[in-house]
Structure 1
Amino acid sequence: MGFATAALSVLAVLVVYIPLARRRGRSRSHVVIGALSASYANGGYLGLPIAVYVLGDATFALPVMLLQLLVYAPLALSLLDLDVSGRQPSAIALALAGVRNPVSIAAMCGVLLSVLDVDLPDVVAEPISLLGGMAVPGALLAYGVALRFGGAIGSANRGEIAALAVLKLVWMPAVAYLLARFAFGLGSHEVFGLTVMAALPTAQNVFVYATRFERSALLARDSIAVTTALSVPVLFGLAALLA
């Protein structure tokens, strides 16, 4: 039920944000980055440690990570790729863009290697391990540099950033709680865990995607900063109410 809860929580955010953003005349790429900012949780850097050391079960973070890496990120990146190249989205165009997307390819290769229990030779595994070790520090450095430029946090799109924060930290965990508690009838610990995973702040991956395609990077930067700061009282509040 964890995967279903994560997927439906994301959909609940998208059905609210996308119509509002399109009504305000936002571009397709802006809508994609905004949607990610409102629903793409920091399941790796924060979700896994919280799942392991607080919830006592790493599997709480796995549905969020699998959904984002295998479905959500490839779809969003394909849409951004089509927007940059000026092509109209279609099933064939999305499929071709996904095949060319290194994130999609890497995610699928990782899943296949894990399922098939394949051990790569050292000559292949070591360079991949080195690159993987650079990923988190590289993203943090890039984000830190971005904080120095582009104005103060929230100086642009202030109203939209506030709305994105509400969607990410209030609406999304509320939907996850209702689904886990009433739709799926899970136990209190499972409800708490799934709600916490939904209340995680926006992942820094969104900023990486935005800068890669040079689309709405400030929106992603500010959303990450605001949701990360506000997630602390939100998570403590959830712990007090549900733990």
Structure 2
Amino acid sequence: METLLNVSLPFFGLIFIGYGAGRTRLITPQAYLGLNAFVIWFALPALLFIKMSQAPVFEAFDPRFVAAYTGGGLIAYGTVAGLSRLLFPQLAWGQRAVQAMGASFGNVGFMGLPILVTLFGDAAVLPAVLVIVFDHIVLIPLTTGIIEGSASGHTSVWMIFRKVCTGMARNPLILSTFGGLLWGLTGLHLPVPVDALLKLLSDSAAPCALFALGLTLVGRPLSHGLEQVTLTTIGKLAVHPLMVWMLAAYVLKLDPFLTAVAVIQASMPTAANVYILATTYHTFVERTSSAILVSTVVATVTVSAFMVLFTAY
């Protein structure tokens, strides 16, 4: 209960303050687009660069951790895609792919990373960042490939591969992660003014990201297709973390700390990245928007529960 009060309520409280600011029009849609851009292009990249440049990556890297998290995500992805085919035969495979991504691609950057750093300190940075990286390099290419293949039988594998690589090469979170890693390998210290600037930006990442997340929830419609939204939400908030838990604790037998990080990251609600991909391909857009809203609201309970369960590691 102490964890719930000291960590969960402030984080989710900041999300709903942002929602209230947008709902009451204290901050306009044009203004929160700017805040989102600040978080994605400046604050979070600065945080990731600093943390990765200081992290003992090669000493601490555990492939079993990556396998547990990524494997759990792929199981959730496949489970939701399979159930969607059974329950909603009218959907195209591209739509099912977006729905499945919504059940396996969580808000691990805006929410997961700040929460884990607050809970466990810098020890959680490397595994938390690994989750961010592998979500991007596994789930985005997988979903993009299925959408492209579903849309046109004439799309070549090379064209899909080139489009995926181009998108990743422009992703500021991926670039800052690998940039920090490479800088850390040099063993050099950042110039003092640069280090101070990056720390100012990184300190703003958590509050701005959570506030911006609340703003993005304003105006998301709970339109038709609530059955499909419900499947996505259950997949994300229940199937995904439970599959990661089983793999981490009972199959790969990770230590309790890494198990806690993996499960808490997996318990995060559907990320806005899924909505961005859906809008890019004009596929499953309204229901993805609804899934983000519903999963984020329900996550105030489920994420808090997972935090309470796993902070006593």
The alignment's TM-score, normalised by the length of structure 1, stands at 0.78
Aligned to 2:269: 201
Query: Which of 237, 242, 247 matches 1:179?
Result: 247
Aligned to 2:164: 98
Q: Does 1:59 align with 2:126?
A: yes
Q: Is the 8 A contact 2:240 2:266 kept in 1?
A: yes
Mind listing any 5+ residue stretches in structure 1 that lack a counterpart? 123-128
| Separation in 1, partners of 2:292, 2:108 | 13
Aligned to 1:163: 231
Distance 1:112 1:191, change over 3 A: closer
**RMSD (Å) for aligned C-alpha atoms:** 3.1
Amino-acid identity (%): 20
Cα deviation, residue 110, structure 1: 5.0
Distance 1:79 1:142, change over 3 A: farther
Q: Does 1:33 align with 2:33?
A: no
Aligned to 1:232: 300
Aligned to 1:125: none
| Separation in 2, partners of 1:104, 1:32 | 22
Q: After the TM superposition, which residues 56-205 of structure 1 pair with which residues of structure 2 at under 5 Å, given as runs?
A: 56=121, 57-84=124-151, 86-88=152-154, 91-99=157-165, 101-106=166-171, 110=176, 113-117=179-183, 143-144=216-217, 146-147=219-220, 151=221, 153=222, 155-205=223-273
Q: Is the 8 A contact 1:165 1:226 kept in 2?
A: yes
Which amino acid is the alignment partner of residue 79 of structure 2? V
Q: Deviations over 1:113-156 (max 9, x none)?
A: 4444399xx9xxxxxx9xxx9x969x859945652xxx4x2x31
Q: Is the 8 A contact 2:94 2:148 kept in 1?
A: no
Cα deviation, residue 18, structure 1: 1.6
Which amino acid is the alignment partner of residue 47 of structure 1? G
SS in 2 for 1:39: coil
The alignment's TM-score, normalised by the length of structure 2, stands at 0.62
Q: Is the 8 A contact 1:60 1:197 kept in 2?
A: no
Q: Is the 8 A contact 1:46 1:200 kept in 2?
A: yes
Q: Deviations over 1:58-94 (max 9, x none)?
A: 223112101122222133234434555x244654343
SS in 1 for 2:308: helix
Higher relative contact order (CA closer than 8 Å, sequence separation 6+): 2
Which amino acid is the alignment partner of residue 160 of structure 2? L
| Separation in 2, partners of 1:200, 1:141 | 15
Q: After the TM superposition, which residues 204-223 of structure 1 pair with which residues of structure 2 at under 5 Å, given as runs?
A: 204-223=272-291
SS in 2 for 1:61: helix
Which amino acid is the alignment partner of residue 63 of structure 1? L
Aligned to 1:126: none
Distance 1:145 1:197, change over 3 A: closer
Q: Deviations over 1:80-112 (max 9, x none)?
A: 34555x24465434323324x323554765565
Q: Is the 8 A contact 2:127 2:261 kept in 1?
A: yes
Q: Is the 8 A contact 2:241 2:264 kept in 1?
A: yes
Which amino acid is the alignment partner of residue 221 of structure 1? S
Q: Which has the larger radius of gyration?
A: 2
| Separation in 1, partners of 2:171, 2:113 | 20
Q: Does 1:2 align with 2:69?
A: no
Distance 1:190 1:140, change over 3 A: closer
Q: Is the 8 A contact 2:72 2:244 kept in 1?
A: yes
| Separation in 1, partners of 2:138, 2:300 | 28
| Separation in 1, partners of 2:267, 2:84 | 22
